[in-house]
Structure 1
Amino acid sequence: MALGTWLLVIGLCDLLRAARDTTTGVRRGLIAALAVVLLVLAGVLVGIDGSEWIGLGAAWIVGALLWLLGSSAALTDRQDAQVAVVARVVAFLGLAVGIVVSVLGGGVIESYGAPASILEGTLLGQIGLDHLVLVLGVVAIQLSTANIAIRLVLDSVGVPASAGEKQLKGGRMLGPMERLLILGLGIAGSLTAATIVVAAKGLLRFPELQRGSAEGGASDVTEYFLIGSFASWLIALGGVGLVGLSTASGGGWAMYFD
């Protein structure tokens, strides 16, 4: 529940800058403030008390702020290499803090009382609110947060995303669609079918990869494709793994795909 909640808030906030690398200070502040409000509201709904806010609640907020502000700074301040490096470290540190603390401290959260009672007797109620929140959080991450994380990875290894995006204009849309397809197939228990997506993408890009090799080495587009694609697939598979672990530990909706 804790991890799903945090991921959902991060994903929703990142959707507000889905098509923007460069963001103004005002926009960053508004998005960060929204994240804090949503996390506090979520904490109230699940009944986090004062002592728990010192641990889990504070880590939620700190992790969210580090990711949102750090990633925004890393993408906006590309002209200053040192600032960009520090900002990327801060951003990924924020992700790590939010995920690790949510996993380790999630035991203090039991359920969203009122929403859970409303869902009783419905299909969503049978699935379980814990699983539903986690899946919504994982889906939200695939839509925009993953794109931002991949661009940070590309920048960190010296392959600017902007160079590849000029030739792969639909990347910001195709990436989430690809990840959602892999995630959906994985949740449905057909992860093997997801390999078709990977194979198809490789075949479509093979002529460019082969041309780059023939010209004496990997081009920027080749590196962009390889690093970006593997990072994208790992994020999608990570989401499948999180949902799978939750389903295995709590029953979840595995019954619907038997």
Structure 2
Amino acid sequence: MSLALLGTWLAAVGAGDLARASYDVVSPRRAAACIAVGLGVLLAGLLVLDLEPARVLLLWVLLGSLQAVWLLGSALAVGPDRTGPWRDRARALALLALGAGAVAAVLGAALLTTEPTLPARLAGTVLGRWPVSDVVVATGVVLVQLASANVAVRLVLGPMERLFIVGLGAVGELTAAAVVIAAKGLLRFPELQRAQQQRPPAGPSDVTEYFLVGSFASWLVALGGAALIHLA
């Protein structure tokens, strides 16, 4: 199965996020520009895949809408003006759009009747050394690493640790789950000691949790991108 469509979707998401002026503050004009960049990259990628016009339009509307929801939802979730339920809802909506786009792109691979090929004038260039699907997926993965991964890590920083431990437990890897819990406890122990010495008492900061869970989420994003390149 070709992952070229998934690579195109990732490239659109990554390009749109690169156009953000800031990860925390995105004005309406900047958001519109980001969405336009993503839609442009998505359309260009779909045209390279040589699909029928009706299928190009369908995928462009579907994946483009999900890219817009991801960008707007993630901007609200990490912005300083939203707190409480609004932030949680925006985060859930952004992650849902990101996951739905990936699933739609994978399932949409069934619409590809032939493997994409480079135009004849590019066949003799450096790009001609690799299959088009590999180039598209690699491009999408690299673009996602530049900006989108940072936003995704911030969105999953809270629930990811719990989900990971639940997942390990569900597949019977209780030892691995225990190692994660023990590692976090060891890392946070010095902070707990310092907090107890303060007057008045103060709770531990989020620095350790941010480091442990955030780093792990970042590694998973990078490893997932490497896996996509390998499977392309």
| Range class of TM-score, shorter chain | 0.7 to 0.9
Kindly provide the CA deviation profile for residues 171-223 of structure 1, in whole angstroms up to 9, marking residues without a partner as x.
xxxxxxxxxxxxxxxxxxxxxxxxxxxxxxxxxxxx97552253368631111
Aligned pair partner of 2:145 in 142, 145, 160: 142
- Pairing 1:214–2:193 present: yes
Query: Contact 2:11 / 2:144 at 8 angstroms: preserved in 1?
Result: yes
Higher relative contact order (CA 8 A, sep 6+): 2
Kindly provide the CA deviation profile for residues 126-167 of structure 1, in whole angstroms up to 9, marking residues without a partner as x.
22121011011111111110000111123667xxxxxxxxxx
Query: Contact 2:157 / 2:217 at 8 angstroms: preserved in 1?
Result: no
Matching residue of 2:222: 236
Aligned pair partner of 1:68 in 63, 66, 71: 71
Helix, strand or coil at the partner of 2:157: helix
Which moved further from structure 2: 20-29 or 42-51? 42-51
Question: 2:105 and 2:211 mapped to 1: Cα distance?
Answer: 32
Query: Contact 1:18 / 1:144 at 8 angstroms: preserved in 2?
Result: no
CA RMSD of aligned residues (A): 2.7
1:226, CA displacement in angstroms? 0.7
Matching residue of 2:84: 81
Matching residue of 2:11: 8
- In structure 2, relative to structure 1, the CA distance for the partners of 1:82 and 1:15 (3 Å cut) is same
Matching residue of 2:200: none
TM-score, L = length of structure 1: 0.67
Matching residue of 1:98: 101
Question: 2:80 and 2:101 mapped to 1: Cα distance?
Answer: 24
Helix, strand or coil at the partner of 1:17: coil
Q: Which ranges of structure 2 fall in alignment gaps of 5 or more residues? A: 161-185, 197-202
Kindly report structure 1 stretches of 4+ aligned residues shifted beyond 3 Å: 77-80, 109-113, 207-210, 213-219
Kindly provide the CA deviation profile for residues 18-46 of structure 1, in whole angstroms up to 9, marking residues without a partner as x.
64311111111121122223322332333
- Pairing 1:21–2:7 present: no
Q: Which ranges of structure 1 fall in alignment gaps of 5 or more residues? A: 158-206, 247-258
1:78, CA displacement in angstroms? 4.5
- In structure 2, relative to structure 1, the CA distance for the partners of 1:214 and 1:41 (3 Å cut) is same
Matching residue of 2:211: 225
Question: 2:149 and 2:75 mapped to 1: Cα distance?
Answer: 14
Query: Contact 2:76 / 2:90 at 8 angstroms: preserved in 1?
Result: yes
Partner amino acid for 1:92? L
- In structure 2, relative to structure 1, the CA distance for the partners of 1:98 and 1:79 (3 Å cut) is closer
TM-score, L = length of structure 2: 0.74
Question: 1:48 and 1:98 mapped to 2: Cα distance?
Answer: 18
- In structure 2, relative to structure 1, the CA distance for the partners of 1:151 and 1:18 (3 Å cut) is farther
Paired residues, number: 197
Query: Contact 1:22 / 1:72 at 8 angstroms: preserved in 2?
Result: yes
Matching residue of 1:250: none
Larger Rg: 2
Percent identity for Structure 1 against Structure 2: 36
**Matches of residues 159-198 of structure 1 in structure 2 within 5 Å?**
none
